[in-house]
Amino acid sequence: MTEPILATESLTKDYGSFRALSALTLSVAPGEVVGLLGPNGSGKSTALRLMLGFLRPTSGRATIGGFDCWTNSVETRKRVAYLPGELRLYDTMTGRRLVTFLAQLRGDTPGAEVDDLARKLDIDVDKPLTQMSSGMKRKVALLAVLVPKVPLIILDEPTNTLDPTMRDELLDQLKAARARGQAVLFSSHVLQEVEAVCDRVAVLRRGELVHVQEMSELREGRVVSAWLTGDAPATGPGGSELGENTIADGRLQMTFRGPLPVLLDWLAKQPLADLVIEPQGLSPIYKKYHG
């Protein structure tokens, strides 16, 4: 089994009597994209800051590459590229100078990949940051994070201020990082982008980990809404019981997991007036915990 690049064990952070994060145990393996999902205040940013050694845990621990994130923070940060939720950049620099400066802190000298990625993100890297919009600055920061080939990328709400085209490009870049064997951990409250790129999703609520979802399992499911002109079926696809699926006012709503031909063959025998088949998605899970 592959050793995780990032691991937390009962990671907890208190601010006086307020518990911002409670006993988080989570791991991220090389070549895996994991999403932290939850609304503002659920503990996502606190968890990331603890993992980066910016905050001292009240109890528990986090390790990156086997190094404790608090007691060996320099060693852990050598292995991480991080995008914070709130940017603080050196505005007197150009985009290129900023990317080069941050790379040199690691002992690296970026090459042609800077211009290649800048074209994909539609950035003029030779423009001073003072002349850039917040969205452009965000893209420069993404460039600085995506250029280094470190084992782990951590992103806090990475698509903030990005337009839809650039969001898609970023998700493509995260998939490319996964293909290179890099691990990615990012926080978000946007279900669609989490569904598009993640291998696993951890749902946080009020500082607690309440659910971990393997996306491969979820992608096998389909949500079916069928409007019927006749009697409702007695059994489901393949002779299965309808179970928790509902039939009301001539509309059948069901979740199906299994081979698509079995579902389509069953539907072809029903008195259909209309039909919608959608991927199962994270929405029902998210609503279960966050309403």
CB 183 within 8 A of CB 5: yes
Alpha helices in the chain, H assignment, sequence order: 44-51, 73-77, 95-105, 113-121, 134-146, 164-179, 191-197, 215-219, 260-268, 283-290
* 169 and 209, same domain (yes or no): yes
| Average pLDDT for 265-270 | 91
Residue where one domain finishes, among candidates 215, 233, 249: 215
**Could you give the number of structural domains in the chain?**
2
Predicted confidence band at 108 (pLDDT cuts at 50, 70, 90)?
Answer: confident
Q: CB under 8 Å to 165, separation ≥6 — which residues?
A: none
The pLDDT mean for the chain works out to: 90
End-to-end CA distance of the chain: 37
Question: What is the model's pLDDT at position 76?
Answer: 93
What is the separation of C-alpha 262 from the centre of its chain, rounded to a whole number of angstroms?
A: 32
The pLDDT of residue 48 is: 95
pLDDT for the residue numbered 192: 87
Sheet holding 221-228, edge to edge: 246-248, 251-257, 221-228, 272-279
Domain-ending residue, one of 215, 232, 249:
215
Q: Is the pLDDT of residue 1 over 90?
A: no
Q: Which domain holds residue 25?
A: 6-215
Asked if 135 and 208 sit in the same domain, the reply is yes
Once rounded to an integer, what is the mean pLDDT over residues 178-203? 92
**Between helices 113-121 and 134-146, what is the axis angle to 10°?**
140
Task: Examine the pLDDT at 210 and tell me if it is beyond 80.
Answer: yes
Decide which of 215, 237, 262 is a domain's last residue: 215
Map 238-252 to HEC letters: HHCCCCCCEEECCEE
Residues 231 and 96 in one domain: no
Share of residues in the chain with pLDDT > 70 (%): 99
Whether 204 and 225 map to the same domain: the answer is no
pTM of this structure: 0.85
pLDDT (average), residues 158-165: 86
Average pLDDT over residues 147-171: 90
Q: Which region among 35-44, 114-123, 184-193, 235-244 has the lowest average model confidence (pLDDT)?
A: 235-244
Residue 30 sits in the same domain as residue 159: yes
Contact between 48 and 59 under an 8 Å Cβ cutoff? The reply is: no
pLDDT at residue 198 above 90? yes
Same domain for 238 and 106: no
- pLDDT digits 0-9 by tens, 44-95: 999 999 999 999 999 999 999 999 999 999 999 999 999 998 888 888 899 9
Q: Render pLDDT for 228-262 as a digit per residue (tens, 0 to 9).
A: 988 878 888 887 777 666 777 788 888 888 888 99
Q: Is beta strand 6-15 parallel, antiparallel or unpaired with respect to 59-64?
A: antiparallel
Q: Do residue 144 and residue 245 come from a single domain?
A: no
- The pLDDT value recorded for residue 44 is 93
Domain annotation covers residue 1? no
Structure tokens at 135: 């969205």
Which CATH number is 195's domain given? Answer: 3.40.50.300
Cα separations in angstroms, 257 against 102, 182, 265: 47, 31, 14
pLDDT reported for residue 67: 96
